[in-house]
Amino acid sequence: MVSKEKDLMEWFSEILKNAELYDYGNYPIKGCGSWLPNGFLLRDKVTSILRELLNETGHKEVLLPLLITREMLEKEAKHIAGFLGQVYWVTKGGEDKLEMELALRPTSETAMAVIFKNFLLSYRDLPLKVYQIVSIFRYETKTTHPMIRVREVNTFKEAFTFSATKEESLEMVKEAYDIYCRFFDKLGIPYITVERPSWDRFPGAEISIAFDTILPDGKSLQIGSIHYLAQNFSKVFDGKFMRRDGSYDYYHMNSYGISERSIAALLIHFGDDIGAIIPPNLAPLQIVIVPIIYESLKNEILDYSKKVHEIIQLAGYKAILDDREDKTPGEKFYEWERLGVPLRIEIGPREIKEQKLFFAERTGNKKHIPLNELFKQIKISFSNIEIQLKNKARNDMFNKIISVDKLASIDEILRNKKVAKFGICEKEECGKTIDKMLTGASFLGYDFMLKSIGNCIVCNSKTERIGYVAKTY
Amino acid sequence: MVSKEKDLMEWFSEILKNAELYDYGNYPIKGCGSWLPNGFLLRDKVTSILRELLNETGHKEVLLPLLITREMLEKEAKHIAGFLGQVYWVTKGGEDKLEMELALRPTSETAMAVIFKNFLLSYRDLPLKVYQIVSIFRYETKTTHPMIRVREVNTFKEAFTFSATKEESLEMVKEAYDIYCRFFDKLGIPYITVERPSWDRFPGAEISIAFDTILPDGKSLQIGSIHYLAQNFSKVFDGKFMRRDGSYDYYHMNSYGISERSIAALLIHFGDDIGAIIPPNLAPLQIVIVPIIYESLKNEILDYSKKVHEIIQLAGYKAILDDREDKTPGEKFYEWERLGVPLRIEIGPREIKEQKLFFAERTGNKKHIPLNELFKQIKISFSNIEIQLKNKARNDMFNKIISVDKLASIDEILRNKKVAKFGICEKEECGKTIDKMLTGASFLGYDFMLKSIGNCIVCNSKTERIGYVAKTY
């Protein structure tokens, strides 16, 4: 297997394959991946966390059509301009040429506007927060990577809000921001949040905030984004509501999305050169029990192992007893490690004699624990593994962000596979100056949360804002 | 609102609209519906039941690509022949003409065969049972109806099995049959099961078994189907596995599907001229509490209602207290009845004085119950409503199936909006004779479970098999 250090995307493809999480490359269409049973369970866990966060904040799940007419897409001029090169078009039904070309949804602002205008007639119907988890399509001409740059984004959670005022819409931007922070924190994925510059916003948005994670190769990956769409879509789709005073106005909309890139990010941050590492809170399989058979004690060891397996399962953990006879313990260890199972429990003669268990945490720690502390020790190990993974990812990522105060230094930082951080003022020309001097990298925008007094790296004026430059996926 | 009796599909469209379950008609593409928040919760309940039945029988959920190449579809000759007229083709990406035309999946046999051949290399990897819940597409040129005949079937559960032998594959057909019986029984949907005649099988199948429900207008609706695909797909996709003895063979496949037609069927069977009726076990909202306010006792009534609402919710029921002041009780009753909420609890001065509650079941029954029997009575009412709905649907449906012994009688039965049932032998020519004499109706096939000694309605030979003729959706 190629090392993580040497070729991150190649390594990622291999861990997906070895852990049978996601098929990529066996399908005859570029950029189309498949969730295999193991991977689907992980995907299910991740989407459940997201659903829970959305449901408990009043978001309602819906499911809208996948096909979008060309006319709908063209209504909002910037929107279509931003997507036109990337849209897949259905032009034939059976042997008939269709009267109107139909797009595979690149995103659903237009469909949402068309449907919900029929239900949002009065101020009483507002605000509304809805979401769906669906496939979206992009005709990617660049190199594709599993889950990261695909033609069918098959796990896209897209949320939309409709509200009476700009103020309320911006409050909901904050709510979405808070939800996404909690989501990525639960997954243990480190991130920075950045307000994208005006020329890099979502097509049709007036504000775009992105969650970016810096991967171990120093490249930034956008894993979530939140957009204030103002009245841009409601105006062109005639989305009007009646105010309390009887007058009419167009509602304000937001949209915000998270895709399977979030799952890619956690697998990439946590995995190692052996294979995947899935944190216990997300793992479809949390514990594997491997009996270390000595022929003379075979029955005792197996019975003891079965008993341990049973009580662990009764306590609600997802555990498996690997009592296959045609594999050596070493082969089993390797297999379960590649799959990313966070905790292995080994049981051999010594463990039986001493009424102990041997714990091997996937993150490296190994120890004997007394049988009567089993549940306490599982909790400790799980907590250790989660904290270790999270902290390591966080430290690794923030160590890659290097503060600079000269434009000339940016290039070297990028060459060293790092991200540059600097003071920048809000004048568009300063951001554009940086963006123009870069090749193969981007000005990510302005940190959304952090402020720090300093000088603009371009014009040297006083500023509190912080900017980033990174290579990006 | 049009009556159910008069125009079933028009009535169905209206109850969907009035209950805000599913949007149909507001979208500019024919045959594309949207699940609105209320409907999505019902859909979620129904798919959860299905998932549970599949998971507990060892089926694993996966998610495969939506796009299928023309080459894949064309591999199995009968398969493509059966779908060719109905496939949507993607021919453009951005402004580029695609090198190969891509189909929106009409069904996923080919994708499953392409992916899983890489994982089913040995007898040890078999059997495998997988499923996905996805959108499939059919370019329908006929009249569309919400959920029933749509261009985007957006809730298609398709399951696939791979096994080493025909015997095992047929065992799995039985298992699927059992799962589907349990599913429809939980939903309370009545059905007959029919083995389709050879000329009406799923394209590429050697056996096709269908679950048909007869709707109140006497037309049959296929709500589930199970297919034995033999080695037809594995052969053309080179899906070989190694037997224990080292030799190779192609695996046998089944596929079986259920769509949102199951949700349409339950809404149609159970609903009435007021609106939807959702059985309590499926209802996203099970109970509505309506205080009947008398000004002099306003606070007492509201307090009492709140208390009742609170304890009902604590007990785990989904309940709402409708204390809106700008609606009369009558308006509220009508609104919740249209939405299909199965139980309404009314609380007014008399109920407070006597420490009682007034129960109005959506199916018509009304009664006073003592407050201290609240939970017992909710259970009784829920059980009553479920049994009532189920029995009524069952009786209504089986009353529409009329036994005949002369071919000449079939026509009149169809004209009377009924279904004809008769003895038929297994000779293909007899089935075809019936099929040919029909216009606007079909020979559904041979009852899969029922046998009864009699004579073939066509050739008069002795037979145990039973056939059906019906108009179909």
Nearest CA distance, A100 vs chain B (angstrom): 9
Taking only the tens place, the pLDDT of each residue in A342-377 is 999 999 999 999 999 999 999 999 999 999 999 999
pLDDT reported for residue B451: 95
How does DSSP classify residue B63?
B
Nearest CB to B62 within list A32, A40, A87? A40
Verify whether the Cβ–Cβ distance B60 to A72 is below 8 Å. no
Instruction: Report residue B99 as tokens.
Output: 């090198």
For chain B, the C-alpha Rg in angstroms (whole number) is: 25
Instruction: Report residue A116 as tokens.
Output: 């919900």
Q: Of the residues B270, B304, B328, which one is the last residue of a structural domain?
A: B270
Q: In a 10 Å sphere around its CB, with 0-12 CB exposed, 13-18 middle and 19+ buried, how is residue A221 labelled? A: buried
Taking only the tens place, the pLDDT of each residue in A145-167 is 999 999 999 999 999 999 999 99
Taking only the tens place, the pLDDT of each residue in B176-229 is 999 999 999 999 999 999 999 999 999 999 999 999 999 999 999 999 999 999
Show residues of chain B in contact with A135, CB under 8 Å. Answer: 66, 135
pLDDT at A79 over 90: no
Show residues of chain B in contact with A27, CB under 8 Å. Answer: 65, 111, 114-115
**What residue has token string 């959860």?**
B48
Residues B138 and B232 in one domain: yes
Residues B341 and B258 in one domain: no
Show residues of chain B in contact with A34, CB under 8 Å. Answer: 62-65, 111, 115
A35 in a structural domain: yes
pLDDT reported for residue A1: 84
Question: In sequence order, which residues have a C-beta less than 8 Å from that of residue A367 and are 6 or more positions away?
Answer: A358, A359
Nearest CA distance, B433 vs chain A (angstrom): 30
Amino acid in the structure at residue A189: I
B396 in a structural domain: no
Interface list for B 135-164 with A (CB within 8 A) = 135, 139, 141, 151-152, 154-155
> What's the number of domains chain A is made of?
3
Question: In sequence order, which residues have a C-beta less than 8 Å from that of residue A468 and are 6 or more positions away?
Answer: A192, A194, A212, A220, A401, A419, A420, A421, A422, A443, A444, A445, A447
Verify whether the Cβ–Cβ distance B62 to A43 is below 8 Å. no
Verify whether the Cβ–Cβ distance A29 to B69 is below 8 Å. yes
B276 in a structural domain: no
Q: Which residue of B has its CA nearest to A93?
A: B88
CATH of the domain at B419: 3.30.110.30
Interface membership of B111 toward A (CB under 8 Å): yes
pLDDT at B349 over 90: yes
Give which of A92, A100, A105 to mutate to test B binding, by max B Cβ within 10 Å.
A92
Question: In sequence order, which residues have a C-beta less than 8 Å from that of residue A234 and are 6 or more positions away?
Answer: A113, A117, A162, A240, A250, A251, A252, A253
Question: In sequence order, which residues have a C-beta less than 8 Å from that of residue A135 and are 6 or more positions away?
Answer: A66, A152, A153, A154, A156, B66, B135
**What residue has token string 């089986």?**
B398
Interface list for A 297-316 with B (CB within 8 A) = none
Q: Which residue of B has its CA nearest to A31?
A: B65
pLDDT at A439 over 90: no
Give which of A18, A20, A26, A29 to mutate to test B binding, by max B Cβ within 10 Å.
A29
Interface list for B 9-38 with A (CB within 8 A) = 20, 23, 26-29, 32-37
Whole-number Å distance between alpha carbons of B114 and B120: 11
pLDDT reported for residue A77: 85
Residues A204 and A345 in one domain: no
Whole-number Å distance between alpha carbons of B467 and A42: 46
From the list B276, B32, A108, the residue with the least C-alpha distance to B24 is: B32
Write the CA distances from A332 to A280, A324, A357, B233, integer angstroms.
19, 9, 17, 34
Interface membership of B92 toward A (CB under 8 Å): yes
- DSSP string for B120-150: --BGGG--EEEEEEEEEE----SPPBTTTB-
Interface membership of B93 toward A (CB under 8 Å): yes
- DSSP string for A72-115: HHHHSHHHHHHHGGG-EEEEEETTEEEEEEEEEPS-SHHHHHHH
Residues A116 and A255 in one domain: yes
Write the CA distances from B347 to B67, B304, B312, B321, B358, integer angstroms.
55, 8, 14, 11, 6
pLDDT reported for residue A345: 98
Q: Beta-strand (E) ranges in A322-385?
A: 343-347, 356-361, 366-370
Residues A28 and A167 in one domain: yes
pLDDT reported for residue A200: 94
Question: In sequence order, which residues have a C-beta less than 8 Å from that of residue A86 and are 6 or more positions away?
Answer: A106, A138, A139, A140, B93, B94
A161 in a structural domain: yes
Show residues of chain B in contact with A32, CB under 8 Å. Answer: 65-67
Whole-number Å distance between alpha carbons of B103 and B123: 32
Nearest CA distance, B150 vs chain A (angstrom): 11
| Residue-averaged pLDDT of chain A | 97
B281 in a structural domain: no
Interface membership of A85 toward B (CB under 8 Å): yes
Taking only the tens place, the pLDDT of each residue in B30-50 is 999 999 999 999 999 999 999
Whole-number Å distance between alpha carbons of B39 and B57: 27
Inter-residue contact B126 to B251 (CB < 8 Å): yes
Interface list for B 220-259 with A (CB within 8 A) = none
Strand partners, B117: none
Q: Which residue of B has its CA nearest to A20?
A: B119
When pLDDT is averaged across residues A112-140 and rounded to a whole number, the result is 97
Verify whether the Cβ–Cβ distance B89 to A84 is below 8 Å. no
Question: In sequence order, which residues have a C-beta less than 8 Å from that of residue B366 and are 6 or more positions away?
Answer: B358, B359, B360
Taking only the tens place, the pLDDT of each residue in A253-295 is 999 999 999 999 999 999 999 999 999 999 999 999 999 999 8
Inter-residue contact A155 to A133 (CB < 8 Å): yes
From the list A324, A342, A327, A313, the residue with the least C-alpha distance to A19 is: A342
pLDDT at B1 over 90: no
Q: Of the residues A385, A412, A442, which one is the last residue of a structural domain?
A: A385
pLDDT reported for residue B439: 87
Taking only the tens place, the pLDDT of each residue in A131-140 is 999 999 999 9
Residues A295 and A167 in one domain: no
Show residues of chain B in contact with A94, CB under 8 Å. Answer: 84-87, 139, 141
- Using a cut of 0.90, tell me whether the model's pTM lies above it: yes
Instruction: Report residue B78 as tokens.
Output: 């009968």
Question: In sequence order, which residues have a C-beta less than 8 Å from that of residue B249 and are 6 or more positions away?
Answer: B164, B240, B241, B243
Q: Which residue of A has its CA nearest to B113?
A: A27
Taking only the tens place, the pLDDT of each residue in A203-255 is 999 999 999 999 999 999 999 999 999 999 999 999 999 999 999 999 999 99
Residues B315 and B461 in one domain: no
Q: In a 10 Å sphere around its CB, with 0-12 CB exposed, 13-18 middle and 19+ buried, how is residue A376 labelled? A: exposed
When pLDDT is averaged across residues B230-240 and rounded to a whole number, the result is 97
Q: Of the residues B387, B420, B444, which one is the last residue of a structural domain?
A: B387
Give which of A90, A110, A125, A140 to mutate to test B binding, by max B Cβ within 10 Å.
A90
Inter-residue contact B262 to B244 (CB < 8 Å): no
Percent of all residues in chain A with a pLDDT value above 90, rounded to a whole number: 96
Verify whether the Cβ–Cβ distance B34 to A94 is below 8 Å. no
Nearest CB to A67 within list B29, B86, B94? B29
Residues A257 and A405 in one domain: no
User: DSSP H helical segments within A117-238, as ranges?
Assistant: 166-187, 232-236
Q: How many CB pairs under 8 A join A and B?
A: 158
Residues B54 and B191 in one domain: yes
Write the CA distances from A226 to A173, A210, A465, B105, B419, integer angstroms.
7, 6, 19, 31, 55
Nearest CB to A90 within list B35, B104, B115? B104
Residues A172 and A214 in one domain: yes
Give which of A38, A40, A88, A114 to mutate to test B binding, by max B Cβ within 10 Å.
A88
Interface membership of A106 toward B (CB under 8 Å): no
pLDDT reported for residue B320: 98
Question: In sequence order, which residues have a C-beta less than 8 Å from that of residue A226 and are 6 or more positions away?
Answer: A173, A176, A177, A180, A208, A209, A210, A254, A255, A256
Residue B54, phi-psi category: left (phi > 0), alpha (psi -120 to 50), beta (remainder)? alpha
Show residues of chain B in contact with A155, CB under 8 Å. Answer: 63
Give which of A32, A67, A105, A119 to mutate to test B binding, by max B Cβ within 10 Å.
A67
From the list A72, A76, A80, the residue with the least C-alpha distance to A101 is: A72
Nearest CA distance, B190 vs chain A (angstrom): 27
CATH of the domain at B307: 3.40.50.800
Interface membership of A99 toward B (CB under 8 Å): no
Residues A293 and A435 in one domain: no
A282 in a structural domain: no
How does DSSP classify residue A251?
P
How does DSSP classify residue B454?
E
Task: Name the pLDDT band for B79 (thresholds 50, 70, 90).
Answer: confident
Task: Name the pLDDT band for B112 (thresholds 50, 70, 90).
Answer: very high
CATH of the domain at A238: 3.30.930.10
The whole domain housing B452 covers 401-472
Inter-residue contact A135 to A97 (CB < 8 Å): no
A337 in a structural domain: yes
B138 in a structural domain: yes
Interface list for B 355-374 with A (CB within 8 A) = none
**Three-class SS of residue A300?**
helix
Residues A293 and A420 in one domain: no
